Amino acid sequence: MKHTLTRTLTLVLAILLCLPLVACGASADTKETTASDAAQQEVTLDKELKIDIMVLSGTTGVGIAPLMNDVKNGNAALNYNIEVASSADLINPGLIQGEVEIAALPTNVASVLYNKTGGKIMVAAVNTKGVLYLLENGETVKSFADLKGKTVYLPGQGSNPEYIFRYLAEKNGLEIGKDVTVDYTYGSPDELATAITTGLVSLAVLPEPKVTAIKSQNAAVRSALDFTAEWNRVSDGELVQGCIVVQKSFAEEHPAELAQFLKDYEASIQFVNTNIEEASTMIEAAGIIPKAPLAKKALPACNICFISGEEMKASLVSFYQVLFGMAPASVGGALPDDGIYYLP
């Protein structure tokens, strides 16, 4: 009887000792479930929010074509309103006035806008590396040294092509105005493209996809110098020419929607880089490059990419330092501080 009572008490004690463990396990499960529910609530997207986006025609805008196709077919994750413009001057006012939330622009323009608006415009990603080439209607230029005594035509003043050419010329020991003459007669890339295609000029600095278009129209025109390769030869940093900017207020008020856009945009760029033929049709339909065959031929040389976070910051810090050293006005009069970089 005594032994039976002892065994019974032992069993009851064991059961009582286990109860807190079960309770604790239930509590942990409840906490985990609650945390999971909270996380899901945090990433709830406002699908009614209209997000106005503007991109440049040409290389800076090509990466968004598949996303535009999704919008057209009603398959986009958010309410994107995407427009294509022919120049940054048509995009900048909307950004300054707060009417455009997101835009694709040249990297130096992003810095100018950051300084001009007192930090209201941020860079969220780099979307284009080097796309500039020195075209020659002839066979005389094999290196920068061969430009001595020659005239090079640039598509207008105060833009990335001018600053990049000046930097590379100086790094190769050429003094602008003394060793090589720079001519801005043709104020736009289109005008300069026509001039070299028709033989009015012999040397011109132009970007893709115009480079491909020109060479397809005039077989005598060739890519004499690849500025990306030349940049890599004389600089420790990367040549980064295009980026995605965002209103600081939008980034602060709608971080989940911005994160979704960047995810969608990165997927769009990946599609372009891996499905060139199909993407080319979308690029033509979006009005970013006039013809699909041209887009298909030019895309491999367009260097479109998606770089965000600290890697984006590192590449732009180096590039902005170069531009500032060439001409402070090229980045808006002052080097942008860390506030320009969107680092979620």
* Per-residue pLDDT tens digits of the chain, which is 344 residues long: 434 434 443 443 343 444 443 333 434 444 444 444 444 445 799 999 999 999 999 999 999 999 999 999 999 999 999 999 998 999 999 999 999 999 999 999 999 999 999 999 999 999 999 999 999 999 999 999 999 999 999 998 888 899 999 999 999 999 999 999 999 999 889 999 999 999 999 999 999 999 999 999 999 999 999 999 999 999 989 999 999 999 999 999 999 999 999 999 999 999 999 999 999 999 999 999 999 999 999 999 999 999 999 999 999 999 999 999 989 999 999 999 999 999 99
Instruction: Please tell me the pTM assigned to this model.
Output: 0.85
In the 8-state DSSP scheme, what is residue 158? S
Alpha-carbon distance of 318 to 314, in angstroms, equals 6
Domain with CATH 3.40.190.10 in the chain: 50-129+240-340, 132-234
Instruction: Report residue 142: phi and psi, to 5°.
Output: -115, -20
Alpha-carbon distance of 319 to 134, in angstroms, equals 20
CATH code for 132-234?
3.40.190.10
Q: Which CATH architecture has domain 50-129+240-340?
A: 3-Layer(aba) Sandwich (3.40)
Bond prior to 293 in cis (omega within 30° of 0) = no
Alpha-helical segments (H) within the chain? 2-42, 59-62, 65-72, 92-96, 107-116, 160-171, 189-197, 210-217, 227-234, 248-253, 255-274, 276-286, 292-298, 309-326
Asked if residues 206 and 193 have their Cβ atoms less than 8 Å apart, the reply is yes
List Cα–Cα distances, 102 to 46, 109, 327, in angstroms. 16, 14, 27
Q: What is the DSSP string of 123-140?
A: EEEEEE---EEEEEESS-
Asked if residues 295 and 283 have their Cβ atoms less than 8 Å apart, the reply is yes
In three-state form (DSSP H/G/I as H, E/B as E, the rest C), the secondary structure along 39-106 is: HHHHCCCCCCCEEEEEEECCHHHHCCHHHHHHHHCCCCCCEEEEEEECCHHHCHHHHHCCCCCEEEEE
Residues 242-278 have pLDDT tens digits of 999 999 999 999 999 999 999 999 999 999 999 999 9
